[in-house]
Amino acid sequence: MDRMPSTTEPNRAPETSAAPLRAGVGGPVRYPDASALYRPARIPAAERPALFAILAAAIVIAAVLFGTYYGNVVSTNRETQESVDAALARGATIDAPVLTSCVNMDGAAVKESLQNAGYTIIDVDEIKGAASTGSFDLVKIPQDMGVDDAAAAYLSGVESIDPATAARFLSGSFRLEQTNAPTTDLRLHYADFQATDADSAIDAAIEAQGFDASTASASAKDASGNTYRTGSANGMTWTVSTCPLNEVHNVKGLPETAMYVGIRLTA
């Protein structure tokens, strides 16, 4: 079979119209005297006092600026810590509801029950305009905090507000949810500032909920690193888990021993 003619040109050396380079004209090569480059740099004696004065002034200015900055940082941190400590020392309580008492109650009934108990409640689904379902998401706020301020703090994120206000909100609030309705799946979350470690926070939660600690599992770690214990109550399963509060809310000045507690009751 005849081959098709090639459509590509073979590689060729590039053509150029430039004239060939000419050989350089012979002759001696002269090198400039570079000895001046090797001489040590010296400041004239007449200029030294002025230069030293400039350096001294620069050092003084830098020291003043650093001292002012450091002082402002220390002062701000001290004021922040004092405001957070004052917010935590005001005596606010969580007063979280017992989850077994909320079983078979819809959101409206639970909200009414909490309000009748004197709690100020934020209905998160209502604020977000979510459709009404059998599930609910309620947040109890501190008595000394306005509803608008608390709602803004919750919806924008605790980390977005000043540390003192965040401490006020966290030390007197809890969040109560019902998911997967109509199946019982109640969840309660709050911050425990009285805890000294994970186990103390779990023990306090078990006692407050009226769970039987003697039949509960031993303290263990889940896949997320949370410490938890689990047991049963009225034919339902409860789990109390906790982790350091600063792993959930990064707020400056909060105690390192504060714990974030989650309680779940399922049927």
Higher pLDDT among residues 161 and 239, named by residue: 239
| pLDDT at 102 exceeding the cut of 70 | yes
Residue 41 has pLDDT above 60, yes or no: yes
Mean pLDDT over 165-188 rounds to: 87
Candidate from 27-31, 112-116, 155-159, 179-183 with smallest mean pLDDT: 27-31
pTM above 0.85, yes or no: no
User: pLDDT tens digits for 136-150?
Assistant: 999 998 887 878 877
What pLDDT shows up at residue 71?
63
Average pLDDT of the residues in 79-96 = 73
Kindly write down the DSSP assignment for every residue of the chain, as one continuous string.
-PPPPP-SPPP-PPP--PPPPPPPPP-PPP----GGGGSPP---GGGHHHHHHHHHHHHHHHHHHHHHHHHHHHHHHHHHHHHHHHHHTT-----PPPGGGGTT--HHHHHHHHHHTT-EEEEHHHHHTPPP-S-EEEEEE-TTS-HHHHHHHHHH-GGGS-HHHHHHHHHT-EEEEE-STTS-EEEEEEEESS-SSHHHHHHHHHHHHT--GGGSPPPEE-TTS-EEEEEEETTEEEEEEEEEGGGT---TT--TT-EEEEEEEE-
pLDDT digit string, tens, across residues 221-249: 999 999 999 999 989 999 999 999 999 98
Mean pLDDT of the chain: 80
Residue 4 pLDDT > 60 = no
Give the model's pLDDT for residue 77.
63
